[in-house]
Copies of this chain bind each other. A is one copy, B any other.
Amino acid sequence: MDEPLRAIESVLFASSRPLRMAEIESATQLSPDIIRRAIVRLKKQYDDVGSSVEVVKIGVRYSMQLRKQYSNYGMPFAEVELPKDALKTAAFIAYNQPVLQSELAKSLGSEVYEHIKILRSANLITAKRSAHTFLLTTSKHFAEYFGIASSKKEDIKKWMDEQTKKQ
């Protein structure tokens, strides 16, 4: 039995959000070094059996999540809060960021104001004042929420391109 690995698996399985090293440390009482090594093994284990679940590092956080190709199966049972239209707006912002709110409204219609409000309150985008409108970019939380490994805007765009190709 590999106790550290199982403790970490338990913690990642139970949490619906990616966890920081410090959170895993305090929940398992293990050292960062042991945790890091156990996570590598855990990831390999899930990959080796071809599980639909994967262990990923997202920015500085760790998470267990469904592989993208299986998320359709899980979606009806997952507690997702965002309306589909708001997701489209989020995708548009993520792909073209930074985007002016006024330009976005021109491209996608005035309902984007409602979407931006939803996305801001879900902490997925940040809005900086720019003259009479706002400049919109994705937040750090954006990458976590969508399970993207990096929160850099170039990486997000690259990731989105890859996802589109896979479809």
Contact = CB atoms under 8 A, between A and B. Distances in A.
Contact of A9 (B15, B51, B75): B51
B73 A11 contact: yes
B50 A1 contact: yes
Interface residues of A, number: 31
**Majority SS at the chain A contact face:** helix
A7 B73 contact: yes
Interface in A60-105: 66, 70-71, 73-79
A14 B75 contact: yes
Nearest to A11: B73
A73 B27 contact: yes
B11 A74 contact: yes
A78 to B, nearest CB: 5
B50 A13 contact: no
Contact of A45 (B2, B7, B49, B66): B49
A135 interface: no
28 contacts: A2-B50, A6-B52, A6-B70, A7-B52, A7-B73, A9-B51, A9-B53, A9-B70, A10-B53, A10-B71, A10-B74, A11-B73, A11-B77, A13-B52, A13-B53, A14-B73, A14-B75, A14-B78, A15-B74, A15-B77, A15-B78, A16-B77, A19-B77, A23-B77, A27-B73, A28-B73, A45-B49, A49-B49
Interface of A: 1-2, 6-7, 9-11, 13-16, 19, 23, 27-28, 45, 49-53, 66, 70-71, 73-79
